[in-house]
Each structure stands twice: as C-alpha cells, then as structure tokens.
Chains A and B, each alone.
Chain A
C-alpha cells in the first residue's frame, strides 16, 4: 500500500529552527508537496520538490531525497504565527496526491 509518515506533533521555541520530516512509500513518484494548515482553516501551498536537493523560499526550505523516500521542511526564525499543521503529500504514478496525516507544530515563546 501507499504510505506517508510524519510526526504527529512537534514543539519548538520562537526564534529557533525546526525540521519536520516526511517519509513516503508510494507507487511511483511525480513530486512532493508541503502545505500549511492553521487550525480551522484550509491548507495553503508551501513548496513543491520533484528533483533531489534543497529548495529555499524565505524562512522555509524543503529538501528531497528520492532514493531514500524522504523529505523535510525546515522552518527558520520561528514566529508564533508558524503554529500550524504541516501536511506532506506525494504525487504518485497516476498523478494522484497521497497525503500524510500532518504534523502539528506548537511554537512556544
């Protein structure tokens, strides 16, 4: 079967750095997405990786290793507004998105 694993919950301190990991086992691979979802709101797109390596976008970076079935989202200079759930999703060989259950990130002052 297809599977996306991410930690259920993480806690970090304002101003610090946090890395959220995502491992996947899917039938084929056509890209990996990260979305942010604040409580009670809709998911919003953060990043897309299809090739190995690091993609940087401001305070957020996303890394992909296709050979290891692994990605991480790196958040720097954490702010209170970064408290949210972070969803990892993989586009499989049929171009269907497979979603992880999400990682709830709690930021403490």
Chain B
C-alpha cells in the first residue's frame, strides 16, 4: 500500500462544467501519474509529474491540465468537461527509480459527463 487516495471516487457532471480530481499520497514519492481507463483500451497516460511544479504531457493530454504545488498532491482538472471524458481515472505513484520502479495505483475515480 503506497498510501494513495483519490477524491472524489464517483462524480456525475454536465458537459461544459469544470471538474477537478485530487490524488493524495503519504509516502513522498517523486513521480506521480494520471491515467484514464476505457473499455477496449489500455491505460492511457494523461499527464505526469516528476516533482513539485514539474509536470509533462502524456499521450492524451488535450482537454486536461494538472498541478502539483506540494509533493503529496497531484490535481487533474478538466476545464470544460465533455462526454468523451467519461472514464475511470487512476492516479499512480512510482516506487523506486524511474526505469524499474513499479506503479502503485489509487482506487480510481469514476467520472460521468452527461
């Protein structure tokens, strides 16, 4: 258990509204990630962070932004939610070094955009 909590766990919102998902970790891991998981697709990386205020885009970053003002918190924001962003969102932290460390995932946040 890497002490990762995500909030909210479930959210239903309407198209065009802003949404922020929070990932909180208690073990001071440097690397944090936001993924989305959809049926028929592998986990797809949205954004990741390699330190406070150090973030970078993943393969599906359009429509998403992130912030990391503290080591323990990594926020994912959908500025104006669309139905295509209905998904399950997972936060993950990396244990160990960047090249071999396994990922520990939060419980996931299920987002429905109507």
Contact = CB atoms under 8 A, between A and B. Distances in A.
Interface of A: 4, 30-31, 33, 35, 41-45, 48, 50, 87, 89, 91, 95-102
B43 A50 contact: no
Given A48-B100, A95-B98, A95-B99, A42 B105 contact: yes
Interface of B: 40-45, 58, 90, 98-100, 102-108
A44 B100 contact: no
Given A41-B107, A42-B90, A100 B99 contact: no
B42 A102 contact: yes
Contacts of A97: 43, 45, 103
Of B40, B58, B102, the most chain A CB neighbours within 10 A belong to: B102
Given A44-B105, A91-B99, 15 more contacts: A31-B99, A43-B43, A43-B90, A43-B103, A45-B103, A48-B100, A48-B102, A87-B43, A89-B42, A95-B98, A95-B99, A96-B58, A99-B43, A99-B44, A101-B42
A45 B42 contact: no
Contacts of B58: 96
A25 to B, nearest CB: 14
Contacts of A102: 42
A43 B41 CA distance: 14
14 contacts: A4-B42, A31-B99, A33-B102, A42-B107, A43-B43, A43-B90, A48-B102, A95-B99, A96-B45, A97-B103, A98-B42, A100-B42, A101-B40, A101-B41
